[in-house]
Amino acid sequence: MSATSPPSRHRARLAVIILAVIALGAAGWWFSHQSANNNDKTRKNGAPIAVGIASVEQQDAPLQLSALGTATASYTVTVHSRVDGQLNKLHFEEGQLVKQGQLLAEIDPRPYQAALAQVQGQLMRDQALLKNAELDLARYRQLAEQNSIAKQQVDTQEALVHQYQGTVKLDQGALDNARLQLDYTRITAPISARAGLRQVDPGNIVHAADANGLVILTQTQPINVVFAIPEVSLSQVQQAITTDKTLKVEAWDRDNRNKLADGRLLAMDNQLNTSTGTVSIKARFDNQSQQLYPNQFVNVHLQLGVQTAAIVIPTVAIQQGKVGNYVYSVNPDQTVSISKIKTGLASGDNTIVEQGLRPGQKVVIDGLDKLRDGASVKIIDRAAQTGAEASQPRHKHAANVATGHGTGKHQNTSSAQ
């Protein structure tokens, strides 16, 4: 019989199992810790990160400011009827280009023709009364010279003539107004512009107080683009305007890939917007090709001249962090380091660097998301790699055709065998 009791053996076995679990856990932690350290060392000292680079260049750089703008019509007119009545006809098509003075619509003229005839009759009657009063005044004056009538009667007749003259003038004014109201039944285009969608159909009764009007006209040739620049750029723009008051402005599409139109600077607002810290600028475009449309959002490039001997780098190389703007510069030992820079204006796809880099240095423009300060890198020619990948499927296809793989002929032969 063993000296050790069954409960004692059970406790000893449990202690051995616990110690084994603890040992396995410690071994697992040590292994994962060592793997993490090895991975960190690999990222820092080994397994270089593939990146694309560009050279820091010194050249004459065209200066430009980029901003988001909105196209606005040079003139926008809501065409209203100036008289009340039934709309008889519309003489334009929706979306049609109309010219100034062109007939757009007609309102039933009959009530205004009748009012005109009534005023004309009133004028004719009062003109006849005036003429008769003037004849009587001439007779009274002749009799007064002969002392045949009292002077008071002559004065009364003169007053009556003046009264009729005033009445005739009132009638003449009423006649002019009646003619004007009749002319208002023919609605013409106040500007040369493009007609929008009609707001009312023929047969409806229209009023001068209608809010929507008949149609909206927008002049898009020329067209304006309004954009805002930050306050810090105001002095540069003002200096450029002093040199050239008609600065060139380019309008690009929403994706900033295709240029839509070329224009010129038209005007600058006379005060800053204190809530945004910007000042609004208006540019004008001929818009002969109708690429710009009212209320369209566009990217605006304002040209400010040329800066000579400027140090430039691709804009994609610039990163932003707690230190401000910085780039990853490539060292001779194929490692990268963070270089803090001070940026200037944009120049196309490049940005002018005022401080922090010198010509000839290399900066990373591709693979930035994986980089850290001091990381090892492997420089890759992305353009050549893309060209090789694009040509690879054609070579593979040619090889398949040459050997018969993947063709219907090869499959039929195999089936026959």
Mean pLDDT of 188-195: 94
Q: Which of 147 and 227 is assigned the larger pLDDT?
A: 227
Please give the pLDDT value at position 149.
Answer: 87
Which pLDDT tens digit goes with each residue over 392-401?
554 444 444 3
Of the candidate ranges 20-34, 52-66, 85-99, 343-357, the one whose mean pLDDT is the lowest: 20-34
Of the candidate ranges 8-12, 70-74, 164-168, 271-275, the one whose mean pLDDT is the lowest: 8-12
Q: Which of 86 and 390 is assigned the larger pLDDT?
A: 86
Predicted confidence (pLDDT) at residue 356 exceeds the cutoff of 50: yes
Which amino acid belongs to residue 27?
A
Predicted confidence (pLDDT) at residue 239 exceeds the cutoff of 80: yes
pTM of the model: 0.61
Give the model's confidence band at 323: pLDDT under 50 very low, under 70 low, under 90 confident, else very high: confident
Strand partners, 71: 225
**The token pair that represents 339 in the structure block:** 């270089």
Mean pLDDT of 344-353: 85
Which amino acid belongs to residue 279?
V
Which of 79-88, 321-330, 394-403 is the most confident on average? 79-88
CA pair distance 218, 385, nearest whole angstrom? 51
Which amino acid belongs to residue 374?
G
Total residues belonging to the chain: 417
Q: Cβ atoms within 10 A of the Cβ of 341, count?
A: 25
Q: Which of 119 and 387 is assigned the larger pLDDT?
A: 119
CA pair distance 83, 195, nearest whole angstrom? 21
Please give the pLDDT value at position 138.
Answer: 93
Give the model's confidence band at 285: pLDDT under 50 very low, under 70 low, under 90 confident, else very high: very high
Predicted confidence (pLDDT) at residue 406 exceeds the cutoff of 60: no
Of the candidate ranges 8-12, 30-34, 128-132, 257-261, the one whose mean pLDDT is the lowest: 30-34
Q: Cβ atoms within 10 A of the Cβ of 325, count?
A: 16
Domains and CATH numbers, the chain: 49-63+309-379 (2.40.420.20), 65-73+219-307 (2.40.30.170), 81-107+189-213 (2.40.50.100), 109-184 (1.10.287)
Q: What percent of the chain has pLDDT over 70?
A: 83
CA pair distance 301, 299, nearest whole angstrom? 7
